[in-house]
Each structure stands twice: as C-alpha cells, then as structure tokens.
Amino acid sequence: MSNDNTSKTITYKDAGVDVDAGNAFVRNIASMVKSTFTPGVMDNFGSFGSLFRLDIQKYRKPCLVSGTDGVGTKLQVAIMMDQHDTVGIDLVAMCVNDILVQGAEPLFFLDYLACGKLSSIKNTDIIAGIAEGCRQSRAALIGGETAEMPGFYPDGKYDLAGFVVGVVDEDRVIDGSGIRTGDAIIALPSSGIHSNGYSLVRRLFFEVHNKPLDWHPAELAKPLGQTLLEPTRIYVSTVMGLLEQVSVQGMVHVTGGGLTENIPRILPAGLDALLQRDAIPTQPIFKLLQEMGNLPFEEMARTFNLGCGFLIVVREAEAAAAMDRLHAMGESPVVIGRIVDGNQQVRYE
C-alpha cells in the first residue's frame, strides 16, 4: 500500500531553501558590492572565485597578511533592536584592525552570512553595513557566501563571519620585536564596547537588571540599545597615515581579553607594559557596566577595551611627533603608559 506522503514531490524550496530568493539577493546587492571595488579588482562578480591583481610595483617584497573574525553575540542586540545596518561595519572592523596591527594595508574582504531563512532577515541592510566597512577600510568586497540553513538557524536569526587579506612589505612588518624599555604607549579611543564582551553585557543589562532597549540613563548620550550597537571603529586610514611619518614599534587591536590579555601578544621577553589607570580614556558605558556588575577593575580590564580601541607603541623621543600627526588627522590620542622591564605582562599604576 503506497503512502501519499512518499509519492508527493518535495522540492528544495519545500525543504526551506529558496534558490530563486538567493539569486535575487545576489542581484540586489551587486551595486553595493561594486561600490567597494578598488583598482586591483578584476571584475568577475558572481563567478566561483574572485580575482585580485596585486600591485607589484608598489611593494618590493610583498607579504600577504590574512585574518578572520565575527561579530559575536552583539548580533543578538541587533536582532532585539531589529537594526542590522551597523553589524556589517563591526564585521569588517574586527578583521581589518587585526591585520593592521602588523602594518598591513587591507586589499580585499569576503563575508559569510548564515541564516535559517533568507526572507526572514534584513539581508540587504547587513550587506550595506559590510560594504560601508569596506569603504572605510579601503578594502574591496570581492566575495562571499550566503547560506540558507532551515532547521539549523531559527527564522530571524543569523551569523556573520569575515575574512580579509592585506599586504605589507616584508621589511616593514610590525611585530613588536623592536619594542624596548622607555617606549611610549599611545591609545586611540574606541567608539564604545566595539564587538567584545557582549555575553556579559547582555547578561548584566537584560537578565540581571532587566533593562529595556530604550532605557536612557543620564550617563549615556543615547538610549541603551543604540549605545550597544555603536559600530566598532576602523583605524586603517589613521594608522596608515601615521606609518608614513613615524617609526612604529608595535600595535595592538584591543579585542576579546581587553587591555590585559592583548598587549602581551606583542611584548618581547623581559618587558612589561605599565599603564596609568587615570590616563585611560574610558567612557560612561564602561563605568555603568562596572557598577551594574559590581566588577573589579581587573575583570573590566581583561574583558573590555575600556575606551582604548587601538594601541600604538613608539620611541619616547617620537611620541610628541606621533601625537601631533594623530591630532592633525582628527584623532584624540592619549599616552596611557610606557614599556618597562618585566615578564611580558600588563601592570597598572
């Protein structure tokens, strides 16, 4: 006896994957993607692979630098707010700032967007943010993947991953090996929390204290939801401009692990970073988090950037010139510490 359920034709669309919708999505984002193209892009939008021509006249010994990252649970705040046009900037920032640490100029970027149902998310808003991040970092958005995965992601939920490739001359790679006692540590301010620590942030604000997204305490310039969605700063233009005029010994992208865990990644053996607590250009959101979680400074410093999104180490004799150059580019740099003898740790005074 036949079963009607087994004789019925079941298509890919019936299973939850709409190929036509996916093709339409690619067509809809074509102009946004092409707005990021740089001279190295060999226009092959929609092909299986993306081609990029490296300018071998500009680099004598080109060294490719790659990085990958995501946005983490900050995406949950975007979903709660139903605002998706900034997390793409976060995605690009987390990747390009990482390779910038080694002095690399971003060349091109690729993204991965996974969701349960493409029509249930504001996909063009997400890609618009990625394109904006690429324009800010002067990286071409030359490829990506959109994965519709019904039954794996609930409708309305999605995840993002990014991949960047940059280039630096081999003899200009910045790896911290030249750092020595007495060097100055300059901080470039963050735009806020950036894209780290959001599991703790969400637990404190939305579970422990049950605060609504439109909560607007006097300390914050914007309501809570908008404050938490402030996109990660992209430091490419500033840092590339500084490298033209100042000899930089080391750089740090202050991400997961905060100041305490990230700075040792560039410290040579026998050296510590000594930071002045009162010099850190902190922001109201961090004070609020500390108070609401009753968090000690040590926990804050190993979780959040505390207002310092990117650090630059220069010779003490070049600190004034570096500060002048940064000010001229519209930055608000702060000398927050110096390099001292030690054991590859961060100390505070």
Identify the pLDDT of residue 50. 86
Residue 1 has a pLDDT of 47
pTM above 0.75, yes or no: yes
What averages of pLDDT result for each successive group of 10 residues across the chain (349 residues)?
A: 63 73 76 87 78 89 97 97 97 98 98 92 94 97 92 94 98 96 98 96 97 96 98 98 96 96 97 97 95 96 97 98 97 98 96
Which helix or strand (DSSP H or E) is residue 93 part of?
Answer: helix 87-100
Q: Would you put residue 151 in left (φ > 0), alpha (ψ -120 to 50) or beta?
A: left
pLDDT at 275: 98
Return d(Cα 54, Cα 189) in angstroms, integer.
32
Question: Pick from 184, 229, 225, 191: which is nearest to 323 by CA?
Answer: 184
In single-letter form, the type of residue at position 251 comes to: M
Query: Residue 108 class from Cβ within 10 Å (0-12 exposed, 13-18 middle, 19+ buried)?
Result: buried
Domains and CATH numbers, the chain: 8-172 (3.30.1330.10), 184-348 (3.90.650.10)
For residue 112, list its beta bridge partners.
Answer: 145, 161
At residue 232, the pLDDT reads 98
Which pLDDT does position 335 carry in this prediction? 98
Amino acid 120: pLDDT: 85
Structure tokens at 245: 């005029």
Taking a C-beta distance cutoff of 8 angstroms, is the pair 89, 133 a contact?
A: yes
Cα distances (angstroms) measured from residue 336 to each of 15, 221, 308: 56, 25, 9
